Chain A
Amino acid sequence: MDLTMIMVALVILTLSAVLSYKFHALGLIGAVIALLIGLNTCSSFTYGIFVFAIGIINLLSLSALKSDIQGVDYGLVGLMALATMYIFNTSDFALVLAALVLVSVPTYILVMLREGGTNVEVGIKYITFMVLATVLFLIGAIILVYTKNAFNGFLYVLGYVMLVLGLCLEIGVAPLHEWVPDVFASADPIPISIIASLAKIVPFIAALWILVYTACDMTGSITIFTVVLAVISMFTGNIGALTSKEHARVLAYSTVAGMGYLLTCLVVAAKPEFLYLALTGGLLFLFSNAAGKIGLFNAIKGKGAYSLLTFILAFSFIGVPPLMGFWAKLFILITLAKMQYFWLIGIIVINSVISIPYYIRLANELGVKWEANLTNFICLAAVIITLVTVLFVPVEWFVTNMEAIAHTVGIAL
């Protein structure tokens, strides 16, 4: 039934994208309908509603970009959001990997969008890295799943390393982050806000799923590889952002640092009983990161946004409670404590403090007086997402939901 509804949503997306060549609004309407169907079929409502909200804001922000394929771009974002919602509905690895490809490929086109033409140079750079990332990820995943049935230590290590490197390339973890600052700084801020938000969720979930499913006795010792990459990424990202002046470049490095925090969640593969904590931390982190990136990239596009909104988004990035960024960091730290990575907690503490000056600088420089325009409206929507956790109860709902999801995919708690 789920898959049938998803197919219906895909047909609607395709038709509306085709027809949007004539009537642009049809692309948006089709994407919204597809997302509503996706939300209705999503196995976790609290997860689905966040993805839905991020998808809708991404769709609305596209209105600020008059690209040559306006209308079709809505379909592409709709497709990404739909695949992101679907990921929790399946424990079939073929479909998990298909979702990864469905999220990745539309970004190849989106990254080239700009007003009055296409940004081919940026596109080539981005696509080269992404193809390499996807190939590494897929081969790594296949090797890991193979070792589940016929264990081979060497193959397990090879698969693990390839999968993690593929993930790092895909989401922009240092030292494989070369494409991030250049692409973020040269492409239009609107497609970048989509790449920096919606496109990050599925690779993380897919990697976590595969690593947990294929975990073996060697997992505990090999996670140090992931942890080292995470630490390098945190420092590279934060130092890069501190020393950058261009706003888009600061956000690019902030993504590199953020993906370092996210990568630490993968350590849970060695102890799946804490998977729900890592999922909660990782996903809340991705949602708060998405809200922040959408808001601030739109502020760059709109030459500034209302200062109160830019400051709230910056505070969420820093991890100030009770904003969503805080809960994300809290659950990531709890996961690390459960895994007894106390030294890594110390590293995160240092990096959290390092990040403060550039976020405040960014909020200050992008902050302007209130004006009723699309940029402020989008920033406001992003801020509302980060404020959802102020009442505490949604966080508990989310944790409970993640526990249930961990159960449904067959991981004993």
Chain B
Amino acid sequence: MNMLIFLLLPLIVAFIAPLLKPKSATYLSSIAFLLPFLAIIGCLFNSCPPKIHLMTFSPPIGEFYLHFDMISHAFGLTICIVSAMIALYALPYMTHRFGEMELNVESEFRKYIFLFDLYAASMLWLVYSGNFVLLYVFLEITLITAFLLIYTYGYGNRKWVGILYFLWCAAAGVLTLAGIVILAFENNTLALDVLLAGGTVGMIAWAFIFFGMIIELPVLGPHIWLPWAHAEAPTPVSALLSPLTVGLAGYVLLRIALIDYSFIEAYRMPILCYAIFSSIYGGFSVFKQTDFKRLLAYSTVSQMGYVLVALCLGPFGFIGLVIQYMSHAFGKSILFSCAGGIIAVHHGLRDLTKMGGLHDSIPQISNAAVLGFLNLGGMLTIGMLGEFFILRGAVETFLKPESPAFITWEGGLALIIALIFMFILSVWYGFYTIKKVFYGKPKDTKRLEISGYLYVPLYIIAIVSVLLLFPPLSTALIQGLNAIPGLGLAGGVLP
């Protein structure tokens, strides 16, 4: 069946689901994302048309179409499976949240499910947008829907946090728009295929887009909004915001880099050093947190450093970027959901100082969290491939004498050691968190009742993350990525 129909499904369901009862709306929403997920898996193995025309705009905007390549599919399948599972997870969680806020469950669920579906569907459309204006439209819809979800159903000073999030991300968006407009001026089109075939991205356009997107990622400095937004958002929103939304900045930067890599080539070392420092800073900040959701938010800062690092590492780094997005999305959606599970079962518990030994009371959540951290640490999940390609990118870029960015062996090794330390730090804070939250001396050994919705979807995400490490999924994915001009080696190299 036509991919357009599969992509339209979540958008249509966003308008139908609010008419149904919460349970039916939840299942419908989940199915609306599972079907495109299956269709994308089909596209990994069978060729699908490279584009679907939507409409043509006058220059300098150009054609609106859906762009299908393995990059879009990799992002798309991640968004679909995470959104489908979080939709299920949200049923008991949001019911609990509405009760906590003394709101009418049924009427609030209608508003919530509309915003949730629109939020997730707009991310899916973003990664298939074949025109930068279309991409920007969906980028901003994700911003607005996430803002409204935080503003309406968040924790703490939710209105203030909502506006903080909106301000920072709108700044990111408008900077990006300015870059896109200059891109239009330079190329007289914003259609992706035309730009990929010979477009140029001048330094001013690159600078606008780059600074916009590092706010959205975010890296050290503009990351101020992130711990607030991720911690105070209702957990199903955190479980999309951190794993899926922020990484889309990496997607935008990757698309621009594939058109014209000159900006990164010109400023590779400062950006790389900044990205590594940002990642390490984020990693160490994790140890200082006393709120579980804020801890996970800082971990996101660290992980997004990987994305920026990968962007600097050429064709193999690009593959690393795509896989890093996937593994972070799988891992972080599981972990935020675990934090939400603890909140739901332990009456709002988020304070790490009051945690410890929770494995005894909620082993289902504890085990899921281990799987989440395995993704972040790049162990036995698709995260392994991400780290492999990032390291490969570093070797190809800095240690091969024929590379234009070749530096001395000492310098190259120092860089690689820094990267390895960055990876190890993720494993380190992962085990630290597991020990602090789930192991150690239990405060309550009584096994608690927990709804299956709160943990079964997390295991499904974890299974997908493991399956993607092995053939045939991994080989299909990597071969597909290698076949894209500008990514990997021509002809394909398997790890």
**Interface of A with B (CB < 8 Å)?**
311, 315, 318-322, 326, 329-330, 333-334, 336-338, 340, 342, 345-346, 348-349, 352-353, 356-357, 360, 364, 392-393, 395-396, 399-400, 403
Contact = CB atoms under 8 A, between A and B. Distances in A.
A405 B159 CA distance: 45
B331 to A, nearest CB: 31
B55 A396 contact: yes
B183 to A, nearest CB: 9
9 contacts: A315-B144, A334-B60, A334-B185, A353-B174, A356-B167, A360-B166, A396-B55, A396-B57, A399-B58
Interface residues of B, number: 30
Contacts of A326: 137, 140
A352 B204 contact: no
B177 interface: yes
Contacts of A342: 182, 204
A326 B61 CA distance: 14
A349 B137 CA distance: 16
Interface string B181-220: 1101100000000000000000010001000000000000
A348 B143 CA distance: 20
Nearest to B147: A360
A321 B166 contact: no
Contacts of A395: 57
Contacts of B175: 349
**Majority DSSP secondary structure for residues of B touching A:** helix
Contact of A353 (B57, B60, B137, B170): B170
B170 A318 contact: yes
Nearest to B186: A337
A315 B167 CA distance: 12
Contacts of A311: 148
Given A321-B136, A352-B170, A345 B58 contact: no
A349 B58 contact: no
A304 B407 CA distance: 65
Interface in B123-178: 133, 136-137, 140-141, 143-144, 148, 159, 163, 166-167, 170-171, 174-175, 177-178
Contact of B55 (A321, A322, A330, A393): A393
B37 interface: no
Nearest to B181: A333
Given A320-B140, A321-B140, A400-B58, A337 B167 contact: no
Contacts of A352: 170, 174
Contacts of A340: 185
A396 B58 contact: yes
B225 interface: no
Contacts of B174: 319, 349, 352-353
B64 interface: yes
A308 B136 CA distance: 23
Contacts of B58: 396, 399-400, 403
A345 B182 contact: yes
A333 to B, nearest CB: 4
Contacts of B167: 353, 356-357
Closest 10 CB pairs of A and B: A337-B185, A321-B137, A333-B181, A353-B171, A349-B174, A337-B181, A345-B178, A352-B174, A321-B140, A399-B58
A360 B148 CA distance: 11
Contacts of B204: 342
Contacts of A330: 133, 177, 181
A392 B171 contact: no
A346 B174 CA distance: 9
B133 A346 contact: no
Contacts of A319: 174
A320 B185 contact: no
Contact of A334 (B56, B144, B159, B184): B184
A308 to B, nearest CB: 9
A258 B13 CA distance: 37
A356 B144 contact: no
Most buried by A among B60, B137, B184: B137
Contacts of B136: 321
Nearest to A327: B133
A357 B167 CA distance: 8
Interface string B49-66: 000000111101000100
Nearest to A329: B177
Contact of B166 (A356, A399, A400): A356
A41 B247 CA distance: 52
A364 B159 contact: yes
A390 to B, nearest CB: 9
A356 B163 contact: yes
B71 to A, nearest CB: 23
B178 A349 contact: yes
A356 B170 contact: yes
User: By CB atoms of chain B within 10 A, which of A319, A321, A329, A356 has the most?
Assistant: A321
Given A393-B55, A396-B57, A333 B177 contact: yes
A397 to B, nearest CB: 10
B137 A322 contact: yes
Contacts of A329: 177
